[in-house]
Structure 1
Amino acid sequence: MDKYIIERDGQLDFYKAFLPRVNPQLDVDEIIADNNDGVVNGNLLEFKLHVTDLNTVLFQCIKYLSALRIKGKPVPANILIIDVNSATAWLYHSEPYLTDIEKVYSGGASKDNSGFVGGNAEKVLYYNGPLGAESLIALLKESNFTKIHIDENCIVGWATAFYKKVPTARKEDFLGDETGKHKTIGEIRRPVHFAEYIYPYTGQSNVKFNYLMDKLNDTLQKKNLGAFYTHTLYAEKSLELVRAAIARVPAGNDYIILDRCAGTGNLEAGLTEEELSHCIVSTIEYYEYKVLQELIGAKVRHIIPPIETAETFNAGLVNGADALSREYVENPVIKQYIDNPKCTVILFENPPYAEAHGSEKKMSGAWKHTYLHTKMKSELKGSVSDDIGNVFIWSGFKFYLRQPTDSYVVFSPVKYWKSQNLVNKRFIKGYGFNRRHFHTDIDACIMCALWANTDDIVTDEVVIQGFDIDTKTNSMVEYGELPVKKIYSSYAQRFYDKRKFTDDIVGVACYSDGLEELKRKLSLQPVYNKNIVCYLAPKGNGFDKPDLNCTLTTCAFYNAHGFYVRIDNYIEKLPMFCASRYITYNKAWTERARIMKSADGADRYYADVANGKLAQFLLKCLLFTCLEMQNHMRTFAGSDGRVYRNELCFDGTNGETIALRDIKGLAMSNKEKKLLKQWETVLCCAKRTENYNPALTYGVYQIYAELDTSHEEEGTTVWDNVELHTALAGLKTLVKEYYNSEIVPVLFEYEYLK
């Protein structure tokens, strides 16, 4: 009869038995951290209840080793296939299978493994006896690894591992080669830290990694430079706009295509020989500059600087190629064309994207100390200059485009036109692309637009064509027309309640978790008044970090940026909170960074609130607000001796809340009744939990944070109150459905969302 019927039980018993002899400091969670059955020193382990086909299991192990290589992790020299019920281990060495390990596999490692033919096992160990067990312990103590070859599939992983291991390292320490004037030899060519793990890379240059160069920057450079990689398919599509710009060149004119942040030239890769002969390109990062020279240096009209000298290399950057410097603006090679009225200028760029907001403004990003950034801040007020991409766009129109037939083809989030009014020029044509394919992990809309250098302060809506990328087929997927509408006013300008009352007295402030803030410096003097219901801070027009940039708390939010919501008009302020949840429940890339919050419909909204047209809608907003998890209002005892009660919830245990009083006016459909019934289920389950405090008035978030508790058992999360956790999950689903069907359409109608 089998000893084990669950593989994991056998796996854990194995580790409990052997790890104390191998190394008692080893932690099982760390051993299995890479979604395989475990790596112990130089051994990959794979457990089975019964091994029926060694080749099939061996191929599964090869896929795991492939994944380790891609992540930049050492490839164990030993593969141990273990049958837990027969206490048998088969030893294979990984080196003979290096060719297979260096392939890339998709899908689950345990699937589609039949048909693989490997060699015989090096050794078979029967570890239920003392000799076999001792031999297995000796193997598990071995720390030998199979060296792998660096290629484009794994280099990002090994770069990440290198900068983690050597935090002070720069890009040349990892990638450096013997070409050019600067001859630092990097880790991939002369391994020191990874000498046991990788073969020296023999490529003469780094051209093979040209589309990955931005991901290979060291940590400091990533902060300074931002990201400006462009997917090949998007780069090719953008050439349609470039050619439309070329078609605008007046007869008899020369023209230049200027790209001040060309990287390795992937934007230009699809241009014809004739088009390339009009290009002027530059990049600030040294190893990208070398690749750029190699790939298109002989084809373009100019590269800045034209040749490498002993002074070119400057701490990983290129002297003379900083597009934000005064030296670059006055570069005579470029300026000869800018000063020539018979030359048309076309800017073609995907500017780096690195926005500083909040504490990030204090970072030492070099771009925030440049000539153009300083110049821009002196001319434009507000946060528009906090984005390095905006500095490029502003300076493009300021210093390079002079004539009506000049053009700018630029990749950037739409806010520079939509909400920041940085550009008021004539829109000719544009596309919407998914930001995820720009070496990020965010689904959002990036606009690639063709602008004419003629003023346009009238247009308030443009339409772009949306295109995603199917990564499986490496093909474009059309999403149709995506309207982009201008925003003229913010919530803070039209909707915030800025009243101060003579009976306001000193109060307390909350952190984002809804509890009193006692440690951090406050950005406001918190006040208390019986007429205060809550504090709402729906910051900004955009949806970057939506769960952090809209807070609803019982007391003032410590970081301010909001207002006190008073009892006499609280319900008319709730649509701001509702609108701030849009991206959380509508995650499509076409929405984020294209749809924003606005107060442009404020006059119509206030009029319809006054005439009663929106009475039922506002009660729907109240229902949503009280059942939405991001409402972080809590009931708690303040350090000032007051009890602050959550009034925007439906817990009547300690008396009727404001929300319970007012929700009675809602003419309830089955949707509303279903929501409130689910809430009753949540509250009923909450009252049965061990931590429930009958003296408190609970909202959804406080129940989640304080009562929906869990613990870990053998690496698995176990919920202490399964019924409560299930009820909360059910409520969340219903809330999302209700929000999108009943709230969102009206938010768009009154331009809370636009």
Structure 2
Amino acid sequence: MPNHFSNEVDGQLKFYQDYLPLVDKTLKIDDILTDYTDGIVNGNLIEFKVVINDINTVLFQAIKYLSARRIKGKEIPKNILLVSLTNKKIYVFDSQDYLTHIEKVYFGGASVKTSGFSAGTPLEVLEYGQNQLHESRLINLLRSKQYTKINIDENCIVGWAERFYRENKGAKKSDFIGDHTGKVKIIGEIRKPEKLKEFINPYIGETNVQFQYLMDKLNDTLQKKNLGAFYTPELYVQKSLELVRQAIKRVPEGNDYIILDRCAGTGNLEKLMSDEELSHCVLSTIEYYEYKVLLELLGDKVRHIIPPTEKEDTFNMGLVRGADALSEEYINNEIIQHYINDPKVTIILYENPPYADTRSIEHQKAKKTSSSSQWKQSYLMKQMKQEVKGMGVNEMGNIFIWSGFKYYLRQPTDSYIIYSPIKYWKEIHLIDKKFERGFAFNRKHFHTKIDALVSCILWSNVDEELNNITLEAFNIVNNEILQEEDLTINRIYKKYSNVYYDKRKFSDDKLSDFVLGLNGAKLIGTNKITSQTIINNNLIGYLRASGVNFDNPDLASSLLVASLYNGAGYFPLRKDNFLEKLPMFAASRYITYNRHWTQRANIMKSADGVELFNKAVSSNKIEQDLLKILLFTTLETQNHMRSLYGSDGRFYRNELSLDNTNGDTLATVNLAKLKQGSKETALFEQWEKVLTEAKKTENYDSKLTYSVYQIIDELNTSEKDENDKTIYNYPELNGHLNTLKTMVKEYYNSEIVPFLFEYEFLK
């Protein structure tokens, strides 16, 4: 009598309830439902249908499941059991007979595109509900633990290597693929399987360059992070998927849609998607190792991976030929163009682009120039430079953002969900699009050590100019997501250098070849000198407050008594207007004293309040505020002004110092007008304690006028003991300096910062 099941799940459950206890009492249904299959029981893959009307299609679906298992490094069951629930028949196939098909790579779900496959004759057909001999045979099959040995190739080597490493702690690359380069020849697991001998055939080919490359990358990954770790934190991915689903809701009724990620890496952003969402994904990554991992993890679930299959020339010195999203070839890729040219398809871009900034300190430490980065010679970079001017072209992520709107989004219902530092919108004005919703995440959780803001925003393809946007802020604490206060992000329109820098030239200006290093001392080393120092009685020194963001705060802000050797970002500070220039220096210290993750990469330097500020200066409304900033400047350690004798025979005195041992300085004369409150009085008193102790040191020179920084650098000497612990020669001086630093920070945040925001030196 036939069974009547309305769906496969009910029949599957009944089957396992009947037979699992007879096979292995310890087995639970949850143990055997794996890899999207209907079940793996020992050496058997089982596929259920309410009724099997097309054996070819169902067998091909099972083969696709086995293909995915091979790529993941999982054993291939010898038996394939196709169960037709209604008429209680099981069609038995041997997976060995279909190994050539199993060793192919398939895209999309196993149940998609299954037509056209031709199966052989089943080895046997069991009528399990009607014939006791057949039922006994079924139970024996389910108890069997035989597997089909697969052949190792580039598509599956990563998966099997990961398994080998998991099961053999401490194993090395040579243990897996062998090493014939040393005196001791190591055969390797893949050539003479021991641990995996039941599951893989010996590899008899040459260890090709792809193998070596993939294994090097895999070992590097194992050293840096646990297998399967997210570059983008999983908790943040879950939040960003809210934006993806919001974008999907915007798809017009009747439209298809694709989710395009041109820099998918190993699929971190996609791993938590539903099967339905994955079936709309078009993914690519340029790095060969990531490409192979992407194939392993998501190749059987997504709509496309570019390129779809590996050709002989796909491996290109560690990169994937045809997957460079910055190339003209990629833009014209026929798969992508097929969707872009179809008005009934909505495009959703969803990306966390690679971040590379040729101006970064890391880039400079590597002794690379901005032009040496290969991506800067790309097709898209050349196209972008024709439309975008300024510093925006120095960052790779900006190319992805710009090109996303330029080449891929066409309709108002198209969307872009983008992870990126917010400066592309706030500082660079790379796009003017409609803001739908956005999050602020803590960059520290993206495998970096920096607390900083990373935005994740859903933009729709509708033009709209905005002055500010609001982001929902989320940190991660104890592996749980924690919502903080919403953040308002204000756009920056004017820069210090365009508005506040003093670019005047005087007829009595003279030039000297004497220049300084970054620490304000005489230049030591072989740095190329490209600047000269202006000599004029109206000159105090040089101020640097360059840039808008705080990417390299100490490099971008300083005060010197003479020009830096290359003059980069500095302008001459003159006696007649120096007070109104010092807010730039004060603003440049903001991130040093405000390190909460929502501040860095969010708060930036701005000259947008110039009209309000100039009006306040003219009316003398802010005299006391400017004097407070002067007091802060004299005590701030990033003020690298110091008194010294120049190689040009001149004596350079530090005029922004509270040290009046040799007479008043410009600072002490002006600060006589400061109306002191308790905080100011405390700072002056603490300074006197520092100076008193400084005069007791061996290196003290009574002819010099000292700043806090010069005292720290020249007088507060120390040594290392046998345990490499720092021992200060003058603990009283060191203690007073530490106290002063703490007091300066508190004074800055309470008395200076509100002014800087009011007049939009910070924004």
Q: TM-score, normalised by structure 2?
A: 0.71
Deviation at 1:383, TM superposition (A): 1.3
2:641 to 625, 633, 640: 633
Aligned residue number for residue 371 of structure 1: 379
CA gap 1:616/1:188 in 2 versus in 1, 3 angstroms = farther
Q: Is the Cα contact below 8 Å between 1:180 and 1:308 reproduced in 2?
A: no
Tell me, in whole angstroms, the C-alpha distance in 1 between the residues paired with 2:701 and 2:734.
Answer: 18
Aligned residue number for residue 275 of structure 1: 277
Tell me, in whole angstroms, the C-alpha distance in 2 between the residues paired with 1:723 and 1:416.
Answer: 48
Aligned residue number for residue 154 of structure 2: 180
Aligned residue number for residue 534 of structure 2: 527
Deviation at 1:524, TM superposition (A): 3.1
Helix, strand or coil: the match of 1:379? coil
User: Structure 1 vs Structure 2: percent identity of aligned residues?
Assistant: 52
Aligned residue number for residue 476 of structure 1: 481
CA gap 1:557/1:214 in 2 versus in 1, 3 angstroms = farther
Helix, strand or coil: the match of 1:385? helix
Tell me, in whole angstroms, the C-alpha distance in 1 between the residues paired with 2:446 and 2:320.
Answer: 23
Helix, strand or coil: the match of 1:510? coil
Helix, strand or coil: the match of 1:509? coil
Aligned residue number for residue 328 of structure 2: 326
Does residue 545 (structure 1) correspond to residue 552 (structure 2)? The answer is: yes
Tell me, in whole angstroms, the C-alpha distance in 2 between the residues paired with 1:589 and 1:606.
Answer: 32
Q: Is the Cα contact below 8 Å between 2:515 and 2:564 reproduced in 1?
A: yes
2:626 to 613, 618, 622: 618
Aligned residue number for residue 71 of structure 1: none
Helix, strand or coil: the match of 1:427? strand
Deviation at 1:538, TM superposition (A): 0.7
Tell me, in whole angstroms, the C-alpha distance in 1 between the residues paired with 2:750 and 2:218.
Answer: 42
Tell me, in whole angstroms, the C-alpha distance in 2 between the residues paired with 1:228 and 1:371.
Answer: 30
1:512 to 506, 518, 522: 518
Aligned residue number for residue 750 of structure 1: 759
Tell me, in whole angstroms, the C-alpha distance in 1 between the residues paired with 2:404 and 2:153.
Answer: 33
Q: Deviations over 1:209-253 (max 9, x none)?
A: x9x97994799xxxxxxx993111111110000111111111111
Helix, strand or coil: the match of 1:189? helix
Residues 5-154 of structure 1 correspond to what in structure 2 (within 5 A)? none
Aligned residue number for residue 350 of structure 1: 352
1:646 to 644, 648, 654: 654
CA gap 1:436/1:189 in 2 versus in 1, 3 angstroms = farther
Tell me, in whole angstroms, the C-alpha distance in 1 between the residues paired with 2:280 and 2:329.
Answer: 22
Q: Which amino acid aligns with 1:463?
A: T
1:485 to 482, 490, 498: 490
Does residue 583 (structure 1) correspond to residue 583 (structure 2)? The answer is: no
Aligned residue number for residue 260 of structure 2: 258
Q: Which amino acid aligns with 1:499?
A: R
Q: Is the Cα contact below 8 Å between 1:552 and 1:632 reproduced in 2?
A: yes
Q: Is the Cα contact below 8 Å between 1:229 and 1:263 reproduced in 2?
A: no
Tell me, in whole angstroms, the C-alpha distance in 2 between the residues paired with 1:200 and 1:533.
Answer: 72
Aligned residue number for residue 289 of structure 2: 287
Deviation at 1:440, TM superposition (A): 1.1
Q: Is the Cα contact below 8 Å between 2:155 and 2:292 reproduced in 1?
A: no
1:427 to 408, 432, 435: 435
Aligned residue number for residue 189 of structure 1: 176
Tell me, in whole angstroms, the C-alpha distance in 1 between the residues paired with 2:537 and 2:222.
Answer: 53
**Runs (5+) with no aligned partner, structure 1:** 1-176, 220-226
Q: Is the Cα contact below 8 Å between 2:230 and 2:268 reproduced in 1?
A: no
Q: Which amino acid aligns with 2:304?
A: H
Tell me, in whole angstroms, the C-alpha distance in 1 between the residues paired with 2:694 and 2:644.
Answer: 17
Q: Deviations over 1:504-540 (max 9, x none)?
A: 1112322110013364223433321111112111110
Q: Is the Cα contact below 8 Å between 1:214 and 1:229 reproduced in 2?
A: no
Tell me, in whole angstroms, the C-alpha distance in 2 between the residues paired with 1:255 and 1:179.
Answer: 34
Aligned residue number for residue 692 of structure 1: 700
Tell me, in whole angstroms, the C-alpha distance in 2 between the residues paired with 1:484 and 1:411.
Answer: 15
Tell me, in whole angstroms, the C-alpha distance in 2 between the residues paired with 1:497 and 1:289.
Answer: 53
Q: Deviations over 1:521-567 (max 9, x none)?
A: 23433321111112111110000121111121111222321211100
Does residue 536 (structure 1) correspond to residue 538 (structure 2)? The answer is: no
Q: Is the Cα contact below 8 Å between 1:460 and 1:485 reproduced in 2?
A: yes
Q: Which amino acid aligns with 1:551?
A: S
Tell me, in whole angstroms, the C-alpha distance in 2 between the residues paired with 1:534 and 1:251.
Answer: 66
Q: Which amino acid aligns with 1:633?
A: M
Q: Which amino acid aligns with 1:502?
A: S
CA gap 1:361/1:188 in 2 versus in 1, 3 angstroms = farther
Helix, strand or coil: the match of 1:671? helix
Q: Which amino acid aligns with 1:411?
A: Y
Residues 439-450 of structure 1 correspond to what in structure 2 (within 5 A)? 439-450=447-458
Tell me, in whole angstroms, the C-alpha distance in 2 between the residues paired with 1:652 and 1:751.
Answer: 34
Deviation at 1:441, TM superposition (A): 1.2
Deviation at 1:431, TM superposition (A): 0.2
Deviation at 1:645, TM superposition (A): 0.7
Q: Which amino acid aligns with 1:283?
A: T
Q: Which structure would you say has the larger Rg?
A: 2
Tell me, in whole angstroms, the C-alpha distance in 1 between the residues paired with 2:542 and 2:257.
Answer: 56
Moved more, 314-323 or 350-359: 350-359
Helix, strand or coil: the match of 1:238? helix
Q: Deviations over 1:90-141 (max 9, x none)?
A: xxxxxxxxxxxxxxxxxxxxxxxxxxxxxxxxxxxxxxxxxxxxxxxxxxxx
Q: Is the Cα contact below 8 Å between 2:538 and 2:575 reproduced in 1?
A: yes
Q: Is the Cα contact below 8 Å between 1:434 and 1:590 reproduced in 2?
A: yes
Q: Deviations over 1:615-647 (max 9, x none)?
A: 000000000000011100011111111011110
CA gap 1:216/1:435 in 2 versus in 1, 3 angstroms = farther
Aligned residue number for residue 726 of structure 2: 717
Q: TM-score, normalised by structure 1?
A: 0.71
Q: Is the Cα contact below 8 Å between 1:538 and 1:551 reproduced in 2?
A: yes
Deviation at 1:309, TM superposition (A): 2.1
Tell me, in whole angstroms, the C-alpha distance in 2 between the residues paired with 1:213 and 1:551.
Answer: 42
Deviation at 1:432, TM superposition (A): 0.2
Q: Is the Cα contact below 8 Å between 1:579 and 1:597 reproduced in 2?
A: yes
Q: Which amino acid aligns with 2:297?
A: L
Q: Which amino acid aligns with 1:534?
A: G
Tell me, in whole angstroms, the C-alpha distance in 2 between the residues paired with 1:367 and 1:324.
Answer: 8
CA gap 1:576/1:727 in 2 versus in 1, 3 angstroms = same
Tell me, in whole angstroms, the C-alpha distance in 2 between the residues paired with 1:434 and 1:214.
Answer: 27
Deviation at 1:612, TM superposition (A): 1.1
Query: What RMSD over aligned residues (CA atoms) do the two structures have, in Å?
Result: 2.8
Q: Which amino acid aligns with 1:533?
A: I
Deviation at 1:742, TM superposition (A): 0.2
Tell me, in whole angstroms, the C-alpha distance in 2 between the residues paired with 1:361 and 1:340.
Answer: 42
Residues 456-471 of structure 1 correspond to what in structure 2 (within 5 A)? 456-457=464-465, 459-470=466-477
Moved more, 714-723 or 179-188: 179-188
Deviation at 1:190, TM superposition (A): 4.6
CA gap 1:439/1:215 in 2 versus in 1, 3 angstroms = farther
Does residue 306 (structure 1) correspond to residue 308 (structure 2)? The answer is: yes
**Runs (5+) with no aligned partner, structure 2:** 1-150, 162-172, 201-209, 224-228
Deviation at 1:183, TM superposition (A): 7.5
CA gap 1:214/1:540 in 2 versus in 1, 3 angstroms = farther
Tell me, in whole angstroms, the C-alpha distance in 2 between the residues paired with 1:373 and 1:217.
Answer: 30
Q: Is the Cα contact below 8 Å between 2:156 and 2:296 reproduced in 1?
A: no
Q: Is the Cα contact below 8 Å between 1:426 and 1:451 reproduced in 2?
A: yes
Number of aligned positions between the proteins: 563
Aligned residue number for residue 240 of structure 1: 242
Deviation at 1:468, TM superposition (A): 0.8
Q: Deviations over 1:491-516 (max 9, x none)?
A: 00111011011111112322110013
CA gap 1:218/1:620 in 2 versus in 1, 3 angstroms = farther
Q: Which amino acid aligns with 1:248?
A: R
Residues 699-710 of structure 1 correspond to what in structure 2 (within 5 A)? 699-710=707-718
